[in-house]
Amino acid sequence: MSDEHRSGMGAVPHDGGTGFRVWAPHADSVGVEGSFNGWDAASNPMEAEDDAYWYADIAGAEHGDEYRFVIRNGEQELHRIDPYARQVTNSVGNAVIHDHRLFDWRGDDFRLPGFHQLVLYEAHVGTLFDSTGDEPGTFALAAAKLDHLAHLGITAIQLMPVAEFAGSHSWGYNPAHIFAVESTYGGPDALKSFVLEAHQRGIGVLIDVVYNHFGPSDLSLWQFDGWNEFDRGGIYFFNDERATTPWGDTRPDYGRGEVRRFLRDNALMWLRDYHADGLRFDMTPYIRTVDGAGTELPEGWSLLRWINKSVHEQFPGHITIAEDMQGNPGITTFDDFGAGFDSQWDGRFVHPVREAIEAYRDEDRSMEEVADAVSVIYNGDPFHRVIYTESHDEVANGKSRVVSEINPHDEHSWWSQKRSTLGAALVLTSPGIPMLFQGQEFLEGGWFRDDVPLDWHLDRRFHGIVHLYRDLVELRLDADGTSAGLQGAGLQILHRNDEAKVMAFHRWGDGGPGDDVVVVVNLSDTAFPEYRVGLPSPGLWRLRFNSDAAVYSDDFGDFDSFDVEAFPEGYDGCPASGTFGIAPYTALIYSREN
């Protein structure tokens, strides 16, 4: 038997058969039962290897065959789904041998754009489609919406977890089998086809992974080989108080080498076998701490560092993102034993910005807090954070979409349209990696539910708002060569007036014409026909975007905003100044002309 056949965990197909390997340190014996041997584990006993692994090579076992491991520990006989199963019939069914070599990638060589060119779109496969029925979505149905994302200018779609979960409807944050792709979505080849379709449209794909807990239901991993302590989870889990999370007592044992390898292998699998372009890690505070707050979990920190180093070494140009939300610069650096992520979701942006755009009264909007939210930078790198006003967490669990929070009685009112798009303008012009949540661009209301598909009729009804988002994305990506500064690191708050609720800031990379950008925002219901703001240099500043333009909505006022000639008259501590006209609840974007 060759070393090649003996490598790998789980079921590894090769010409003529499949090699099976499983870790079961407390087993007295292990066998493989499956459709290839009449479900008779005695026909294919596994050989004990070093370090408590068990191995068998079975001729004739091939792609598509179903199987389970049969583990005997004393009087216990346990029929277990392979922890490394690449496919399952369902979360409580059988493992399925899956041969990744059989998929035709058609020469796929897509490379993710630079982080400065990323515009993310968080999506849930089960609801991304247009349907009046109650069936769950699939990768194929979701792929039909990729043209919409390409038209919008999205450069990467971030999928909520697609690992096999219990039931047919879920957010995905209850993983039962982390190596298997959700069967109701279509399974492994359907995900590959989705990725390929996205890449052909110039869209990268990021996968959301959940390593802070498993399950808690439908867990074949639970007491996998019959051993446990204190009635806890056994070999894959902490068996003391460190097991406890808000989602059940199912935190993996980050200090155990075999479990660490299990998680690292999983992370690398998505990038290698599915051509994913990056990973988003769910709720990392419950990996790096015991309680999600202050009690450090050193094994969790070191696991995150190890996975991120492995990704950077083996898959350069890919991105890893943490949902940490605590503003910890150590999340996005390897220095001082940091976790080494490329970026992190930033609670210091979303919370104050949402508070400002959702507040009922203008006097309750804090321009100081908005300015601070715009200004946050971690480790001197603006792309160490992901910024947004909507995500799956922000539009559920007692909270709604921004348009519904602004006006729950009429989520498509003038106020909802104006202030939600003002929030979008802040997302797409502030330092950071901008992210939208599915349907945000056509004013999807209510709250996110995993069994209610998007209302794509709104895409047609509010096509002007979609146009607004597209224009913002094009400016963010410097599509016309006039706004490169939105991809730069430079930021200066030029003006902040808490009484008038007006703010202006300067963005730049190298500086100069085609690079310097000034953003002016009015967070009040007052129009200002002539409002003076300090500017970084004299000359002509061309209006590139006005969120009050009537082309975006019949409800908008098409206020007389205009190009600005800045004169060398100091103001706001700046060497020049100009006068702007700005409508209520509006964002204006200017760039410097020659």
Q: What is the three-state SS of 223-286?
A: CCCCCCCCCCCCCCECCCHHHCECCECCCECCCCHHHHHHHHHHHHHHHHHCCCCEEEECCCHH
Report the share of the chain in percent with pLDDT over 70.
98
Angstrom distance (rounded) from CA 131 to CA 270: 29
Mean pLDDT value of segment 229-243: 98
Indicate whether 24 pLDDT > 80.
yes
Mean pLDDT value of segment 197-222: 98
Which two three-digit tokens encode residue 566?
A: 């800045």
- Identify residue 348 by its one-letter amino acid code: R
Angstrom distance (rounded) from CA 529 to CA 531: 7
- For the stretch 60-109, pLDDT in tens is 999 999 999 999 999 999 999 999 999 999 999 999 999 999 999 999 99
Angstrom distance (rounded) from CA 555 to CA 106: 47
Angstrom distance (rounded) from CA 218 to CA 80: 11
- Dihedral pair phi/psi, residue 500, rounded to 5°: -80, -15
- For the stretch 156-191, pLDDT in tens is 999 999 999 999 999 999 999 999 999 999 999 999
Model confidence band, residue 294 (pLDDT cutoffs 50, 70, 90) = confident
Indicate whether 216 pLDDT > 80.
yes
Structural domains present in the chain: 3-99 (2.60.40.10), 115-476 (3.20.20.80), 484-592 (2.60.40.1180)
CB atoms within 10 A of CB 27: 24
Model confidence band, residue 115 (pLDDT cutoffs 50, 70, 90) = very high
Report CA Rg, the chain: 26
- For the stretch 513-527, pLDDT in tens is 999 999 999 999 999
- For the stretch 447-479, pLDDT in tens is 999 999 999 999 999 999 999 999 999 999 999
Indicate whether 57 pLDDT > 70.
yes
Indicate whether 7 pLDDT > 80.
no
Q: With contact defined as beta carbons under 8 Å apart, do 8 and 19 qualify?
A: yes
- For the stretch 354-398, pLDDT in tens is 999 999 999 999 999 999 999 999 999 999 999 999 999 999 999
Residue 12 pairs with which residues in a beta bridge? 19
Mean pLDDT value of segment 315-337: 98
Across all residues in the chain, what is the average pLDDT? 97
Tell me the DSSP string of 522-568: E-SS--EEEEEEEESS-EEEEEEEETT-TTT-TTS-------EEEBS
Tell me the DSSP string of 411-466: TTSHHHHHHHHHHHHHHHHSSSEEEEETTGGGT--S---TTS---THHHHHTHHHH
Mean pLDDT value of segment 24-45: 98
Single pTM value for the model: 0.97
Tell me the DSSP string of 80-142: E--TT-S-BSSTTS-EE---GGGS--TT----PPPGGG--EEEE-GGGSS--SS-PPP-HHHH
- For the stretch 116-148, pLDDT in tens is 999 999 999 999 998 655 677 999 999 999 999
pLDDT for res 101: 97
Which two three-digit tokens encode residue 202?
A: 């110039």
